Structures are given as structure tokens and as C-alpha cells.
């Protein structure tokens, strides 16, 4: 018996999570995506220069992190 055969025999009945296990996070990704699209509309509605557009896109993508930072600062945690 070769070394590779022993490794296969050892793990035969066990589930390999890298190959057989997948996560389904479609719902939360869709909600986050809708939030980003809504934030894009909100932050870009008054943008008149390229700089304001770039800042608006950054705010739209990172608004959850900014919100949590402000909330934790307010709560002094």
C-alpha cells in the first residue's frame, strides 16, 4: 500500500468541506446590493464634478462601515 492510498482510505467516509460544502449567502448579498444601488442614487443625485462622483461611489460602497463607526462612537463602546 502506497502513502497516497492510506490517505485516501483514512478520509474515505468523511466529508471534505472544501469540496462538498458550500454556503448560500444569496439573500444577504442581494440586500446589500440593493442598499448600495440605493446609496448610489442618493449620493450621486447632486454630484456635478468627477470628484463628487468618486466620493459618492466610495460612500455608497462603504456606508455600512461608516454607519457602524458612527453608531459605536455615539454609544462610546
pLDDT digits (tens, 9 = 90+) for 31-64: 888 888 999 999 999 999 999 999 999 999 998 8
**Structure confidence at residue 72 (pLDDT):** 93
At 41 the pLDDT is 93
Reduce the DSSP state of residue 73 to 3 states and report it: helix
The alpha helices in the chain, defined as continuous H runs, are 3-10, 17-20, 26-44, 50-75
Residue 14 has pLDDT above 70, yes or no: no
Residue with cell 462603504: 62
What sign does the dihedral 76-67-62-27 (CA atoms) show?
Answer: positive
Q: In this predicted structure, what is the pLDDT of residue 48?
A: 93
Amino acid at each position: 500500500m502506497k502513502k497516497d492510498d492510506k490517505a485516501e482510505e483514512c478520509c474515505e467516509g468523511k466529508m471534505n468541506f472544501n469540496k462538498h460544502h458550500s454556503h448560500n449567502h444569496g439573500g444577504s448579498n442581494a440586500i446589500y446590493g440593493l442598499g448600495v444601488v440605493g446609496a448610489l442614487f442618493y449620493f450621486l443625485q447632486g454630484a456635478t464634478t468627477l470628484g463628487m462622483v468618486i466620493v459618492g461611489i466610495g460612500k455608497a460602497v462603504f456606508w455600512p462601515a461608516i454607519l457602524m463607526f458612527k453608531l459605536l462612537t455615539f454609544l462610546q463602546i
